Amino acid sequence: MHFRTLLVRVAALAAVATLAACSDEATTAPRQAAGENPIDASIDVTADSDASMERRGWFPTIPQTEAIRAREALRLGGPTQFGDVSSAAQTYPILYHGGPIMHSANKVVAIYWGPNTIYTNGPTPGTVGSGNNDYSLLGYFMRNIGQTPYWKINQDYTDAQGRGVPNALYYTRFWANASNPGTAPSDAAIRNMIKSGFWSKYAPDVSTIYTVFTGPGVNLGGKFGVTDGYCAYHSKFSYFSNGFNYIIKYAVMPYAASKAICTSNLIENKSPNDNLGVDAEVSALAHELVETVTDPQFNAWYDAQSPGQENADKCAWKFGSTYTTPNGAKANIKVGVKHFLVQQNWKIGSSRLFQIGCAMN
């Protein structure tokens, strides 16, 4: 979910080359048949009754991203053939596997979980309100990212009926949950917390992505910011209510700025908005959002690598061209009137056979 160009060290590759790959979700038989590993046993999923929740979409840490790309480059012929290990992802087009995409008017609900305000000017713990009343920079990003050329790339991703992802995303609601998440809430605890807000804080909705944010010091999901872990992830679960089965999509968003391997060195050197917390978080958030709308149930869009890479996986930690902001930082996208540094997204273009690759518009 974030991007930094680092030299790949032989020792680092030896330590991580055998790790489970960083693709975002793989709960279906086709994904597992392609070589996906089962979910890490250290993450508790037994407390949830949804048997379909077997694996989730991960935004990998920087070392894990490099290890995966190096492994694929070697498998396909080595760095001398492809020039750079980061080019391995470019060798595979992304493929449609028949599952649903999020083709309706898509929305975001933000859940800020913790007894203290997480981001500057963010909602006060214990409050609920409209996304328009989230005055944090993160709230601004969520309100405006769906109107950008970057988000429009998702329209390339269509379903069996030819419906694409709409060029819009609406930040509709927030809940500043003042309870203490603890130091390492499991994925099951995260899902139960999301469920606890249904009907009283927000409605269950199959076109909404429920994003969960925590502050520094919280190992959200159990493997945040470690070499073989993730910087964020997205997943799904079933929620039954009034005779209807809602397939709930959610994104788990730990505090990226608290882990160097989840923060670009470009951000570390200078934050585009002089707000390291949000400027580091938005790239991971963009990664999870574009993957959720194009592969919400882990059986729609991913490539032929083992394991399959979703659109944002193929561009993890890749920024493309950057420009200098008024405060001297680096950015690559203007969202509304503000500048951000956000990883690229995979653009299919007019041909599914000859795809464009990582792009910002």
1 assigned to some structural domain: no
Per the prediction, the chain carries an average pLDDT of: 82
pLDDT in tens, 259-308: 999 998 888 889 999 999 999 999 999 999 999 999 999 999 999 876 78
Task: Check residue 28 and report its DSSP letter.
Answer: S
pLDDT in tens, 18-55: 223 333 333 332 232 222 222 222 223 333 434 333 44
* Amino acid in position 203: A
The number of domains in the chain is: 1
Cβ 355 vs Cβ 299: under 8 Å: no
161 assigned to some structural domain: yes
211 assigned to some structural domain: yes
pLDDT in tens, 137-184: 999 999 999 999 999 999 999 999 999 999 999 999 999 999 999 999
Total length of the chain = 361
Pairing of strands 230-241, 128-130: unpaired
193 assigned to some structural domain: yes
349 assigned to some structural domain: yes
2 assigned to some structural domain: no
Question: Which residue in this structure is represented by tokens 């995966």?
Answer: 68
4 assigned to some structural domain: no
- Predicted pLDDT at 67: 73
CA 39-43-48 angle, to 5 degrees, is: 90
Cis peptide bond N-terminal to 307, omega within 30: yes
26 assigned to some structural domain: yes
pLDDT in tens, 214-267: 999 999 999 999 988 999 999 999 999 999 999 999 999 999 999 999 998 888
**Range of the structural domain that residue 93 is part of:** 10-359
